[in-house]
A and B are shown apart, each in its own frame.
Chain A
Amino acid sequence: MIDQSQQNSALRVCLEDVGTHNRAVLDFFFAKLGQHTFRCVDSQVEANVLIIDYDFPPARQRYESEYQEWQKPAIILSISEVSLDNVIWLPKPLTSRSLLDAAASVRALLKVDVSDEAIEKLSNQKIAKNIESFVAEKPVSLQRPVIKKAEVLVSVPLVNKAEVVEETKAVDYDTQSVKQSPVNLPVEKNVEPSMPVKTSLTDQQQAQRWVELCGDLPDFDVSANLVSMQAEESFFISSVKDAVRLARQCQQGVLLNFPQAKIFVLPEIHRIFCTVSIDGPDFIALIRDCNSGDGGKMHILSTPEIHELNELISNQSTSLYDLESFVWTSALLSAHGLLPRDLDPNKVVGLKHWPSMTRVALFPHIMPIAAQWAAQGMNAFDVAKTLNVPQRYVFSFYNAANTLGLIEMDPEKLIKKQSTTRKAEAPRGLFSRLLKRLVGG
């Protein structure tokens, strides 16, 4: 006979209307963590508790017609709250803890309620009937997730391996349906071990690009005069920032005009269209040469200009950039590894949010710099020292991240961050090996 009384023996549990996935996951739990608490049985006759997945379509109905009559305590799993007699509701997603706690509650129910024996008797009378209906309704089919047509959306040209090139492809820009602009992203290739790098540049070209982005200055002495590490903000980057601000404020496209280039800031799609490629020498020349005398005027796009833009985007296979990527690259190219006047390398700051590393221009050590600064407030000198990396990369990150508004300057918020730093020790050996694999391809 079945032992029914021991507090410490496992609860005999029968799963009802639990779909295949969930059944498997629960089985996994019963086999491990829950092994002393639950023992899964195949029929409700043997069981002293039922576990019912209430979200499984027929479960509710069956609860009313059958389960209730069995008069066994039930643990009901459901996304939305269920309040029924003799039932313990467990909200999904479940945790092992909540199941174990539920077991304790079931034990309490079993004790105060009708004795197990009585339950057994009662249910025995209904076995025949129950088994019949049980069999009739089985097998419970597994609900497969179906992706609806409507969700699949407009067909977008997928990036074909063969056609992945350095330049961004032409895109239909239409203010009404701006949501579906495909971008073509450059292939990434690893050059320096500490970082993956987009592009198909040679090592030499890549090194040259890093010089353009981050300069090539040697480290400064921490006691050196700030003036030597800072530079006036360029006219170009301040114009871009103003244009972005204006566009965001009015949530409309803004045209920033230079004799050499037209820059359209498109806040609704978080993009910038620029008639000059930001990866080429012309863009660097633009940043160097532009001045308030003959450029930098901006205004909200007029209807004809929107048409012009559509035309441009569809005809000209130049560049529609992610807004942040554009600003990021502009900030880097404008500063050459120096800091703007308002950034002090001695000031402790932190990283509020990471830039979207998959879409911004990368340079050496960028990941460790971001991680370090996200983990704790530090000054730029200390970040370079701690990571043992050239200051110009730290300064570049500081400048570009700050231009995107990602730097936390508020000392109070930084203190809070400090106190919530993770306690657990990370298995650095494993991480290093895994990182190497990820970086190395």
Chain B
Amino acid sequence: MSTANKKIIFTGPVGSGKTTAIRSISDIEIVTTDEQASDMTRARKESTTVAMDYGMIKLGDTERVHLYGTPGQERFSFMWDILTEGGIGLVLLIDNSRKDPQQDLKFYTHAFRDFIEAQQLVVGVTRMDTHRVPNVQDYRDWLDQLKITAPVFEVDARKREDVSMLMQAMLMSLAPGAEIL
């Protein structure tokens, strides 16, 4: 049984709602991982923490879908391809209240371009309750400019239904017509 092909990655700038979104949807109390460290062959003296959010959705008795949130600030978050390896898709959360959300969109779609091309991107725009501008259509136009096709939804990371809908769109995009068993 492989866990590698059963993970969904949440990314986006600090404050965009990654931790909250994973918490909204996870079946377990989310953890900020230390777990990666045990996976490493050599433990380091200082405790190494990938401050990555981790949550999980349980399917039936044994099957698990792992949810990872990318850590930290942009410049401290790299090697994203390791995180995404074998992932189902990418949930990009953009905080609509930030100074330049278009730049954020560019940055993250570029950083994850290979993964997005191979899998599926969905974009959730958060904090639209407080910041109405830019609007969803602006994001659609920006994605067009970047030649990326992805559903863009207004989401509030605190609402499970919003996060769920975004993830449903990801799955349905990957497998249109998938039966709901």
Q: Are B129 and A193 in contact (CB under 8 A)?
A: no
Contact A375 B176 (CB under 8 A): yes
A154 touches B130 (CB 8 A): yes
The reply to whether the CB of A179 lies closer than 8 angstroms to some CB of chain B is yes
Indicate whether B73 reaches chain A with its CB closer than 8 angstroms.
Answer: yes
Q: A31-B41, A357-B153 are in contact. Are A435 and B168 (CB under 8 A)?
A: yes
Q: Is the CB of B133 within 8 A of A270?
A: yes
Please determine whether B79 and A29 come into contact, CB atoms closer than 8 angstroms.
yes
Task: Report yes or no: A196 in contact with B165, Cβ–Cβ below 8 A.
Answer: yes
* Chain-B contact segment, one of A218-226, A298-306, A420-428: A420-428
Chain B residues within 8 Å of A129, by CB: none
Whether A430 lies near B169 (C-beta < 8 A) is no
Name the contact of A21 in the complex, choosing from B71, B156, B177 (C-beta under 8 A): B71
Given A26-B79, A94-B79, A432-B179, A438-B164 contact (CB < 8 Å): yes
Inter-chain contact B59/A437, CB cutoff 8 Å: yes
For the complex formed, measure the closest distance between the CB of B168 and the CB atoms of chain A, giving whole angstroms: 5
Q: How far is the CA of A176 from the CA of B130 in the complex (A)?
A: 14
Q: Is the CB of A97 within 8 A of B167?
A: no
Instruction: Name B162-179 residues within 8 Å CB distance of A.
Output: 162, 164-169, 171-179
Q: How far is the CB of A38 from chain B (nearest CB, A)?
A: 12
Q: How far is the CB of A160 from chain B (nearest CB, A)?
A: 11
Task: Flag whether B15 is at the interface (Cβ < 8 A).
Answer: yes
Q: Is the CB of B177 within 8 A of A372?
A: yes
What's the nearest-Cβ distance from chain A to residue B94, in Å?
A: 13
Known contacts A322-B154, A433-B63: A96-B79 contact under CB 8 Å: yes
Interface 1/0s, chain B 33-58, versus A by CB < 8 A? 00011011110101011110000010
Cβ-defined contact, B151 with A357, below 8 A: yes
Interface residues of B in 92-133 (CB under 8 A from A): 97-98, 111, 114, 118-119, 129-133
Contact between B46 and A20 (Cβ–Cβ < 8 Å)?
yes
Tell me if A40 is interfacial: C-beta within 8 Å of chain B. yes
* Residues of chain B within 8 A of A108, CB atoms compared: none
Do B41 and A93 touch across chains, with their CB atoms under 8 A apart? no
Interchain nearest-CB distance for A265 vs B (Å)? 13
Q: Which residue of A lies closest to B33 (CB)?
A: A24
* Residues in chain A near residue B175, CB distance under 8 A: 426, 428, 431
Which of A6-14, A60-68, A181-189, A229-237 sits within the interface? Answer: A181-189
Q: Provided the pairs A29-B79, A424-B118, A432-B178 are in contact, do residues A24 and B48 lie with their beta carbons within 8 angstroms?
A: yes
Q: Which residues of A from 395 to 441 have beta carbons under 8 Å from B?
A: 417, 422, 424, 426-439, 441
Residues of A within 8 A of B149 (CB): 374, 417
Complex Cα gap A21–B119 (Å): 26
- A353 B152 Cβ-Cβ under 8 A: yes
- When chains A and B are docked, how far (Å) is the Cα of A95 from the Cα of B155? 29
Q: Is A346 an interface residue (CB 8 A)?
A: no
A45-103 interface (Cβ within 8 A of B): 55, 77, 79, 92-97, 99
Contact of B181 among A35, A153, A269, A433 (CB under 8 A): A433
Query: For the complex, is A128 an interface residue (Cβ under 8 Å from B)?
Result: no
- B169 touching A367, Cβ below 8 Å: yes
Residues of B within 8 A of A324 (CB): 136-137
Set of chain B residues within 8 Å of A92, measured between Cβ atoms: 74-75, 78
Check B178 against A435 for contact (C-beta < 8 Å): yes
Which of chain A's residues has its CB closest to B147's CB? A420
A434 CA / B76 CA spacing, docked (Å): 32
Q: Which of A182-214 contact B (CB under 8 A)?
A: 182-183, 185, 187-188, 193-194, 196, 198
B173 to A371, Cβ gap below 8 A?
yes
Given the complex, which residues of A lie within 8 Å of B98, measured CB to CB? 151
Given A21-B51, A143-B73, is A359 in contact with B153 using a C-beta cutoff of 8 Å?
yes
Residue of B nearest to A40 (CB): B42
Q: For the complex, is A308 an interface residue (Cβ under 8 Å from B)? A: no
Which A residues touch B25, using CB under 8 A? 438
Task: Kindly provide the distance from the CB of A296 to the nearest chain B CB, expressed in whole angstroms.
Answer: 25
A356–B77 CB distance below 8 A: no
Tell me which residues across on chain B come within 8 A of A438, comparing CB atoms: 25, 164, 167-168, 171
Complex CA–CA separation, A35 to B72 (angstroms): 25
Which residues of chain B come closer than 8 Å to A371, judged between CB atoms? 169, 172-173, 176-177
Question: Is the CB–CB distance between A431 and B76 below 8 Å?
Answer: no
Q: CB of B14 within 8 A of chain A? A: yes
Find residues 109-150 in chain A having any chain B CB closer than 8 Å to their own CB.
Answer: 139, 143, 145, 147
Known contacts A180-B131, A268-B133; is-contact A430 B6 (Cβ 8 Å): yes
Contacts of B143 in A (CB 8 A): 353
- Report B-chain residues with C-beta under 8 Å of the C-beta of A28: 36, 39-40, 50, 79, 82
**Shortest Cβ-Cβ A-B pairs, 8 listed:** A371-B172, A354-B151, A426-B175, A188-B161, A270-B135, A94-B78, A24-B48, A432-B181
* 12 new A-B contacts at CB < 8 Å, known A25-B50, A375-B173, A433-B59: A26-B79, A32-B82, A92-B74, A94-B79, A95-B114, A99-B79, A147-B14, A153-B130, A368-B172, A386-B177, A435-B178, A439-B180
* A and B contact pairs by CB, cutoff 8 A, 19 listed: A20-B49, A21-B71, A25-B78, A25-B83, A147-B14, A198-B161, A353-B151, A359-B153, A359-B154, A367-B169, A368-B178, A374-B176, A375-B173, A424-B119, A430-B65, A431-B171, A431-B174, A432-B178, A434-B65
